[in-house]
Amino acid sequence: MATVVMEQIGRLFINAQQLRQIPQLLESAFPTLPCTVKASDVPWVFREPHILTGYRQPDQSWRYYFLTLFQRHNEALNVWTHLLAALIILVKWQEISETVDFLREPHAQPLFIVLLAAFTYLSCSALAHLLSAKSELSHYTFYFLDYVGVAVYQYGSALAHFYYAIEGDWHTRVQGFFLPAAAFFAWLSCLGCCYGKYASPGLPKFAHKLFQVVPSGLAYCLDISPVVHRIYSCYQQGCSDPAVAYHRYQVLFFLISAYFFSYPHPECWFPGKCDFFGQGHQIFHVFLVLCTLVQVEALRIDFTERRPLYEQLHGDLAHDAIALFIFTACCSALTAFYVRKRVRTALHEKEE
């Protein structure tokens, strides 16, 4: 009996010794990261108005920037909001795929595209905020990737709205130009954002914003028009369509997010107080995520409940729409690649 007890005590002692090693193992796996620095300690391209501290040091290893996912810095919340939202989209995708055959059902393909587009823009945004601090070229590269993701999402949203949310009379008015125009405005948005970023050293801050906001605003006005018309028609008829309620929230959340994207509130009122939490861009991220999630739910309901209407309106349009989606993504990616090449040349000339 005594021998058994001593064996048990010995095992407990060994387990206790192993438990003491856990902090050391964690420390070796996640080494102490360099402290964040002030705005004055990083190149101007990394600085944000009214954000005074919490910047990550440039010219570190890639491993460092990936590990900053678990560090407190002024981009951490921007990374996590879109990273978690991307994971939620994957879960929604899996749930919908249990009842919808995306490969064999042509009318489900626009729903597949908007889910893919949402996941793409959220993932690209998370990568941009996580990895752009490595160098000036990395900063431009990852934000150009972010702009490609935004263009892809703009066209994906336009396609899904046109396919599932549109009413018959609005379809008659816009069917001849809607999708080509949506593709053009999506590409124009990518071009405007990339050029505004590239030319920002010689532009006032408001001009830089104009290159981003105006093309994106034009794209949104077209892309959301089937939804706005649907909401107005429902209001006139006094309908109680559950999808329309989600569409209303989609518009509301987007307008709130657009406001916080365009204006640096509240950090302009409290410089240095919103460096880690409460920045306007963080609020923009939160409301844009809410917009995306309610949009996906609204389109899921429309896909289920409005099948007779969209089958009658669109026929075999889905195949052409997919081709236009791929074309838009390729044009946006080539545009971003070209502007990145210009940035790289400019940076090399500056170093010389």
Residue numbers belonging to the annotated binding site:
129, 281, 285
Q: Write the DSSP string, 276-341.
A: SS--HHHHHHHHHHHHHHHHHHHHHHHHHH-HHHHHHHHTTHHHHHHHHHHHHHHHHHHHHHHHHH
Query: Which of 149, 159, 154 shows the shortest CA–CA distance to 110?
Result: 159
**Helices 178-199/136-160 angle, 10° precision:** 160
Count of CA atoms in the C-beta half-sphere (13 A) of 133: 29
Q: Tokens for 51, please give them.
A: 């954000």
- CB 285 within 8 Å of CB 81: yes
Find tokens 């997919």 and name the residue. Answer: 322
Annotated binding site for Zn(2+): 129, 281, 285
Burial 244-279 (b: 16+ CB within 10 A, else e): bbbbbbbbebbebbbebbbebbebeeeeeebbbeeb
Query: Which of 117, 115, 120, 121 shows the shortest CA–CA distance to 92?
Result: 115
- CB 122 within 8 Å of CB 91: no
55 has which bridge partners? 37
Count of CA atoms in the C-beta half-sphere (13 A) of 273: 8
The number of helix segments (H) and strand segments (E) in the chain equals 13, 0
d(CA 53, CA 160) in angstroms, rounded, equals 41
37 SS3 class? strand
Q: Write the DSSP string, 132-153.
A: TTS-HHHHHHHHHHHHHHHHHH
Q: Tokens for 262, please give them.
A: 């365009």
